[in-house]
Copies of this chain bind each other. A is one copy, B any other.
């Protein structure tokens, strides 16, 4: 059973090794957990739905509770405290595009607010109902999860857009194919959600982002249905798929999606190397990706993340041995762990590995083979469970991510980390901060920063701490050539920063487009764009053109 108030499956629990706890106590301080509300308490407090019963949806409290919140830290605090905020008035479970069509027709007539819901894994408030005088219906797409067609010549698979990662991959695997899209939320997030939020998977170096995988599909808007046809490429004006990728439910609901699939590769291996310093490590990964060597993934942890990962990894003896080996080879206190993956035919993988090893050696790195790479693969979707573990110990964990060009990576990363470390200094609170780079492009890479802080004495106080951390860092990112998000999307939490990132013309154009599809702001209002009636509070330090 899925956890009603946190991440993933109830029966999966990640133990913290003993030295893990002392590691955190040293860095953040001893912590006292906040008390969690029970499901029964929450159910007893759900207000009545403003909608009558109907065949189009259910108004059961349980469905409304399970669709009220995603996985952002504010969502967590809401769920753990039991102060859930706004609930949808109803949840609809369409089984076909026609069902979605019927619902939207009714929504248009009755002026309902519509929130499309994939896996509910958003960490930026994509699916949260906001206060509205109109009834709110959340559209849970989970019943539209089938492989509808597979064109093996063109390698295009058509799915119901509500299909979650594992079900998508298992249906493809049965035919010998993979989509290769593995975001950390893979176990729960859905194809439609990936498209609507422009997500990226851990193996994007080989398979591309969702932008490279989404070939077309069917969209239901308030005003009618239409198809995005599939073409391998086209110069017939702007590419309409680009309007819908990242549209976050504002323009319509993607009900069926055609995606580009690949046969399962002959061989896939993940490797780890350690670089002696951050400077060497940064140059090493840039050289690797700019050399165009075929790889499927790469991840570079900075010094603190490397230290933290080895401390929280467990397997103390193995890690001690590794540390000794690395010390012997000259990589010690300042070492950075780099993980990379090769997915392809054996001859190509062998050549790629030879070329990568040369680059690693050039930067005085220590190649350690596949042992830690195997572990990375096993644990690749487990990190969110750690949040649960740490929560029970009194620590709140959140992540921030961006992407920027290579010339700005080091500066932006340091600015983010130092801002987070010092953001709670007025409260005399330490924040443990560490970072990895995980999506690489010739032009730059993503920066993914995790921060751990103690919960305050109250939920309100904890939320205030988060707001300070999140807001000051987000403002810093968009004012320093970072995108507000490389892979999580915009939702409610990032919407206030969009105007700075996109600039006034593009922001106005997005509003103009939203008005085209949805003149009364019925489609997921308040997400992606701050409604024009809201007051702006984020300051731009960018130079005007």
Contacts and interface: CB of A to CB of B under 8 A. Distances in A.
Contacts of A445: 232
Contacts of A347: 351, 354-355
Contacts of A242: 238-239, 242-243
A399 interface: no
A301 interface: no
Interface string A284-326: 0010001110100000000000000000000000000000000
Given A347-B351, A442-B260, A233 B209 contact: yes
Interface in A468-519: 481-490, 494, 498, 501-506, 508-510, 512-513, 516
Given A226-B503, A443-B155, A498 B232 contact: no
Interface in A117-163: 151, 153-156
B505 A221 contact: yes
A154 B443 CA distance: 5
Interface centre among A240, A246, A262, A405 (most CB of B within 10 A): A405
Contacts of A291: 345
Interface residues of A, number: 92
A81 interface: no
A99 interface: no
A505 B518 CA distance: 13
Contact of A494 (B236, B247, B485): B236
Interface in A204-242: 209, 211, 215, 218, 221, 223-227, 229-240, 242
B232 A238 contact: no
A44 interface: no
Contact of A444 (B154, B199, B223, B481): B154
A441 interface: yes
Given A153-B407, A155-B290, A225-B545, A238 B233 contact: no
Given A200-B235, A234-B486, A235-B485, 18 more contacts: A151-B405, A151-B407, A154-B443, A154-B444, A209-B233, A215-B443, A221-B505, A232-B403, A232-B445, A235-B483, A236-B485, A238-B245, A238-B246, A239-B246, A294-B294, A509-B516, A512-B513, A513-B513
28 contacts: A151-B405, A151-B406, A153-B405, A153-B406, A154-B405, A154-B408, A156-B405, A218-B545, A224-B505, A226-B545, A227-B503, A230-B405, A231-B405, A232-B404, A232-B405, A232-B439, A234-B486, A237-B502, A237-B528, A237-B529, A240-B506, A243-B509, A292-B294, A345-B355, A347-B355, A351-B351, A508-B516, A513-B513
Interface of A: 151, 153-156, 197-200, 209, 211, 215, 218, 221, 223-227, 229-240, 242-248, 260, 262, 286, 290-292, 294, 344-345, 347-348, 351, 354-355, 403-408, 439, 441-446, 481-490, 494, 498, 501-506, 508-510, 512-513, 516, 528-529, 545
CB-based closest 7 A-B pairs: A232-B444, A242-B242, A198-B235, A234-B483, A154-B405, A232-B441, A153-B407
